[in-house]
Amino acid sequence: MDIEQIHDSTSKEGLGATMGFQQTSDGKIIFGQGQRYYKYDLLGRPVWERTLPAKFADFSHEIRETTKGTYVLRVGTSDYRRTDGKQQVRSIRDHIIEVNSDGDVLDFWDLGSILDPYRDALLHTLGNVSILLPEGARKTDSLAENEKLEGEGLPFGDIPGVGIGRNWAHVNSIAHDPVDDSIVVSARHQGVIKIMRDKQVKWILADPQGWTTALAEKVLTPVDAQGSPLTLLENGRYANGFDWSWTQHTAWLTSKGTLTVFDNGWGRAFAPTKLQGNYSRAVEYRIDEERRTVEQVWEYGKDRGDNWYSPITSVVEYREDTNTQVIYSASVAFLTREKLIRPVLSEVKYGTQEVLAEYHLHSQQPGNVGYRALVIDVDKAF
């Protein structure tokens, strides 16, 4: 399959990056781009090509098949009416839709009404590029009141910033949990959140700072292997090496009942952007939903420091057939003057630091960033 034969950047429907490649249960490949999403076989033959449903727009990052045979996609909306009634805006990377095999919409999640679009704790770390409430404005727990605090001068658009109509969430992955038919989303600018079918938040895997009163009650408590709460240290870290994931990607459930996350580490502990002394991690968590606790059971990459640090993109995926973690640190050297990316693809034996295979890539085009790596089951495909 030659993606260049599918990617047509000269048309409205073809604008945007081709993203979210996943292999489905029948061996085919699904992905999306701009205003369309697709299913192809590995020989490049289309199964279907579809335009996003009306009112939804701007696919990117993620499309996944559920165990029910449906598909969940990360989108925005083309005409979102805010509660302040100022105007209808184009919402940015903050909606999830579920469609059936015919493309009919079965359900959707409006994260702007589920979470807090004005939580800016992590946005502060992105520096002057972020759009925040005017100086002196005091955020409340009310969405409507916070919208009024914006005033008239804040621009809308695909820019990091608070409020619907800006990139306040930046959802980059979705996982469907068949146990309770819920979804787990990775919102890069907020954290990892599990949301039920009734649109209620089940838990939040993120630093407790900045959440509304109601959402703060959903933040998981870090514990050790015996279930005892971990001590919060003076530097904002926890005992036993536990850490949250920061500006993370690919929060996916595993067949072991755990959650793996690529912890990019940009803005770690709410620190300002720095060009050296950083690290990324592949990390595995075990969550006890009844006790609302989280245990960190494994991590990899911290000791590799800047040479393995990917501030954006990247993936970790547990492979049951090989009992390994496949990790793609996709944007190494992104925060350098040259921006000549050096991605690293590693396969690590489960639960260890043992690297079974590793591949180093070198981009010759400045700023040409990798996104994900995907293992293809060829037998399933044919």
The catalytic residues are 249
| Residue 63 to residue 173: CA distance in whole angstroms | 8
| Residue 219 to residue 209: CA distance in whole angstroms | 10
Q: Is residue 238 helix, strand or coil?
A: strand
- Single-letter amino acid, residue 172: N
* H/E segment holding residue 378: helix 378-381
| Residue 343 to residue 308: CA distance in whole angstroms | 8
Q: How far is CA 257 from CA 177, 252, 262, in A?
A: 10, 10, 17
Pick from 29, 33, 31, 28: nearest CA to 7: 33
The position carrying tokens 């404005």 is 137
| Residue 279 to residue 283: CA distance in whole angstroms | 12
